[in-house]
Homo-oligomer: A and B are copies of this chain.
Amino acid sequence: QLRIDVHSIQWKRVLDIESRFLRHIVVGLGGKAGGIPYESGFEITTASEIAAIHALALDLMDLKRRMGEITVAYNVDGEPVKARDLKAEGAMAILMKEAVKPNLVQTIEHTPAFIHGGPFANIAHGCPSLAAIKLALKLADYVVVEPGFGADLGLEKFCDIACRVGGLKPDLVVLVATAKALKRHGGVRRRDLKTPNPEAVERGLPILGKEIENVKLFGLLPVVCINRFPFDAEEELDVILDYCGERGVPAAVSEVAARGGKGGVDLAKEVLHQLERRRADFRFLYPLDLPVEEKIRTIATKAYGVSDIELLPEARRAVRRIRRLGLEGMPINMAKTSLSLTDDERRKGLPSEGYVLRVTDLRPMTGAGFIVAYCGEINTMPALPTHPAAERMDIDEEGRITGLI
């Protein structure tokens, strides 16, 4: 009766298991008793649109409404079939009724924290739940939010999607830098990352510069946090500190990993100092009423620093469908590798002059309320290595677990 087009089923099943074998499957086989055959696949649970909705919903009713708005498929006339057409949103909301509540945990030093919401940043906006952030804002003077990935991805999505939906106005951005990551962008191979190499750190600095620039694009105050590793050389950290100093960007070394809360006091003081001294002037990177392609171009050229974007044929068809369905006013959620400013994870450092980012496909997430723009090769079902970590795990009769890390 819903006249669903088997080629337009958007909804994939999810599992909290990583398996390349479930990426591409044909379901519905075995004759009549097996349903109708169609090509499908599994995604990991966090890649589900429900994970994104969970992190954007303001309360249970908003969650239910958004889940009802999920586009499950298109019918043979190209019109969306939504979860509410399947009368599924009530049952879904029942399943999620506890999950919608922020859950409070504490660090081993008893600092309270919410760990709530984890949409897969590869494909969703990758930020903690708005419900948790809003609750935290009522409970504390300062609230620190950790979006997934760097200032090209996590920061952009937090500002343009989460803050827009939640009406949030952030003030300051703590940019985490490590000598190791800068060396990687400076051309050092993975296995040599623990060897001191201040020159390579130097070569990697432009990417830190880009991230600082991104913070300013949103009208926010940057503070660079240099996350110290035990194998970092003093000269390497100095290179970073000097770079920030020359540009007037506040910076501090954090030793939280080694020394706990004490190791972060310098950074915290610097953050408070900046918040007292200066005022942020938060703004979005793009207005919602730009055409879809322009919104993507703005993000790509401004936040990633590439020269232009190109929509491949599939993506162009998707833009036409989005326009036809009147969905072009939603914000953009970039699905892009986090290992490069470009869509090619092997390209380190700043994008080369003239680099064109390729958008392979677009998909309106009508429940989450954004349009995912797929760039390069993004995978929503990870594969296990030849020897998965599980092989080394064990538990003895006293219940002692080994091999987890």
Contact = CB atoms under 8 A, between A and B. Distances in A.
A209 to B, nearest CB: 29
Interface stretch (A26-34, A185-193, A329-337): A26-34
Contacts of A27: 21-22, 25
Nearest to A94: B395
Given A93-B395, A395-B90, A395-B93, A33 B20 contact: yes
Q: Is the interface of A mostly helix, strand, loop or mixed?
A: mixed
A37 B91 CA distance: 30
A322 interface: no
Nearest to A90: B394
Interface in A48-62: 59-61
Contact of A391 (B35, B41, B61, B87): B87
Contact of A25 (B26, B36, B64, B93): B26
A393 B90 contact: yes
A262 to B, nearest CB: 33
Contact of A60 (B59, B97, B395): B395
Contacts of A88: 390-391
A225 to B, nearest CB: 34
A24 interface: yes
Contacts of A97: 395, 399, 401
Interface string A90-117: 1101100100000000000000000000
A397 interface: yes
A97 B120 CA distance: 28
A23 B15 contact: no
| Complex copy number for this chain | 4
A286 interface: no
Contacts of A401: 94, 97
Contacts of A39: 29-31, 37
Contacts of A61: 397
Contact of A20 (B13, B17, B35): B35
B36 A6 contact: yes
A50 to B, nearest CB: 14
Nearest to A62: B397
Given A7-B32, A28-B37, A91-B393, 19 more contacts: A13-B17, A13-B22, A15-B15, A20-B33, A21-B34, A22-B27, A23-B29, A24-B30, A25-B26, A25-B28, A26-B37, A29-B39, A60-B397, A60-B399, A87-B392, A90-B392, A93-B394, A94-B394, A94-B404
What are the 5 A-B residue pairs with the smallest beta carbon separation, nearest first? Answer: A24-B30, A90-B394, A91-B390, A24-B29, A21-B35
